[in-house]
Amino acid sequence: MDISRVDARAHLSRRSGISILPHLSQYRPAFLWIDREPDLCCDDCPSGRGGWGGRKMQALFAATTLIVATLLGLTANASAGSLEPTCTGFKDLQLPGSDLEVASTEYISQAPPHCLVRGAFERRKGADGKPYEIRFSIALPDAWSGQFLVQGGGGLNGTVQPPAGNVAAGGKTALARGFAVISHDSGHQGEVWDGSFKADQIATLNFAGWSVEKVAAAGKALVSRYYGRSAHHSYFAGCSTGGREAMASAQRFPLIFDGVIAGAPAMRTSRSNMSLAAKNVAMNSISPTGKDGLPDRSLAFTDKDRSLVLGGLLKSCDKLDGVEDGMIGNPLACRFDPSSLVCKGGKTDECLSADQVRVVAETFSPTAGASGRPAYPAFPYDTGVMSVTDAIPGLMRFDDRRNRQFNNHALTFDVDDAVEKADIDDPQQRLINADQWTDLSSFAAEGRKIIFFHGMSDPWFSANDTVDFFERMKKAAGDRFKTDDWARLYLVAGMSHCRGGPAALDQFDLLTALVDWVEHGKPPEGVTAWGTAIPGRTRPLCPYPSHAHYKSDGATDDGANFECRP
């Protein structure tokens, strides 16, 4: 054991303002580097851990943790072998080499009992003259499981959400399971769609993903200080912007997290927004003029028209999973021809006009430039595309009142020009995007795991784009790292953006699946899904490219009567 390496790594990180010591918590044990001698390995050591799973290492871990805790001045009540951490003392907490300050501490007695700590670090004056800092909130449960989770953000971030860890957790949050959970604002403060922070270089870099590394380091340090020992495993879970942050973490900082959940990743908003703008313009061209003299897209299709499209879609694709149940359980096999709905004569409530059919077809086609090459993939046909009741309306209702970022009343659109502006004229966005880097070789080699999920009715980011990335990632891995050993993708039929959908089973526990995979070597397969949209119904959520198929016997609302098929 070479503990001299501790001092060699104890310099401060100029980039984050956080002591570099917390970064070592990605290894076992935290804050200490130990030469991995071959004789310390065991037959059942977890993959990529260099022998940390052996009994010899457990004894060595206990001894070295005590030594390091003493050296760092960590305190814990270890009487009778128990820990009794409290919130007291955290208000005046100082981390060596960091400007981290605790703003408040609060003991929450409701289940699960935990210490809630709010604070900030990396305070500075930005290039735009505005003050910046990374604000965070961390929940430290009394009954700590030894696990740590960073919670992803949403939109353009700017606010600190309650640290619970509810993404893909199936109704039981990470905090309720005993995880220590931290959330943050990614280094700027503002309303969810306020992009003014991009006037500052560091704020933009933090939003691009660097804040996740910094917050993970700070969170691991706080966990170690509070409990007197480091987390034995660290995770990240997020959806939308949080999904992009999850991808960026695995791509750019592959040793921070043992397991990552990336939901509906906003991996290239420059392209997805471009595609939606093009579809807006197509619908504008057939939209009646509103009271303000502008095209009103909400009037382009009546409720009856939308029902016709949904009915035609279900007629073509509902039975592809072996049962007719109002869900499209095999969405990748769905082939729907909107021209089947066109009126043979004049427009009636029983058919669509030729212009309406053209817009439906264009809405669900790839967005292509003058050469015909797709600039963004098609959106899937699915049951939620006609939704008008969800918080985020379906793809066929571009309602500016609830989709402010899609406020577009133009009648023409140049895809090639929009792509050039997105890919060439906006270098910041190219850095923020997470769709290009497919090399996760270090992540995979270290035994880390990643699970993607995406709703097939997502009206903001096409699930087909996530499928495309997954396939490119698989190709990049080649024969060196079989993707099935470290990555999964789950496509959720009927689900809108991260949640919701009129026929969606949008509750599922991928967090347990990830933990079982990371900590127990059990690869995830079918995961039970349910939702309030169809009470009493369950289905297995199947890993791509399989789908849940009815076995031809038993109640169709019982997921036990379905199996995952290619």
Spot the catalytic one: 458, 462, 496, 549: 458
Task: State the maximum Cα–Cα separation within the chain, in Å, rounded to a whole number.
Answer: 85
Residue 28's contacts (CB-CB under 8 Å, 6 or more residues apart) are 49, 52, 57, 61, 232
Spot the catalytic one: 114, 233, 497, 549: 497
Peptide bond before residue 29 is cis, with ω within 30 degrees of 0: yes
Structure tokens at 203: 């704020």
User: Do the Cβ atoms of 179 and 102 come closer than 8 Å?
Assistant: no
Structure tokens at 229: 């020992």
Instruction: Please give the single-letter amino acid code of residue 88.
Output: T
Give the Cα-Cα-Cα angle 269, 286, 275 (nearest 5 degrees).
15
Q: How far apart are CA 93 and CA 557, in angstroms?
A: 53
458 is catalytic: yes
User: Do the Cβ atoms of 165 and 174 come closer than 8 Å?
Assistant: yes
Q: How far apart are CA 464 and CA 483, in angstroms?
A: 18
365 is catalytic: no
3-state secondary structure of 11: coil
Angle 241-252/211-227 helices, nearest 10 degrees?
Answer: 80
CB-based contacts of 350-356 (< 8 A; 24+ apart in sequence)? 350/308, 351/308, 352/305, 352/308, 352/309, 353/286, 355/285, 355/286, 356/286, 356/300, 356/301, 356/305
Picking from 421, 25, 486, 447, the residue whose alpha carbon sits closest to that of residue 229 is 25
549 is catalytic: no
Q: How far apart are CA 138 and CA 3, in angstroms?
A: 30
Spot the catalytic one: 183, 224, 240, 249: 240
CA 345 to chain centre: 47
Picking from 564, 537, 566, the residue whose alpha carbon sits closest to that of residue 551 is 564
Q: How far apart are CA 461 and CA 86, in angstroms?
A: 43
Exposure string (b/e) for 12-40, b if CB count within 10 Å is 16 or more? ebeebbbbbbbbbbbbbbbbbbbeeeeeb
User: Do the Cβ atoms of 298 and 274 come closer than 8 Å?
Assistant: no
Positive or negative: CA dihedral 25, 27, 29, 32: negative
Q: Which residues are catalytic?
A: 240, 458, 497
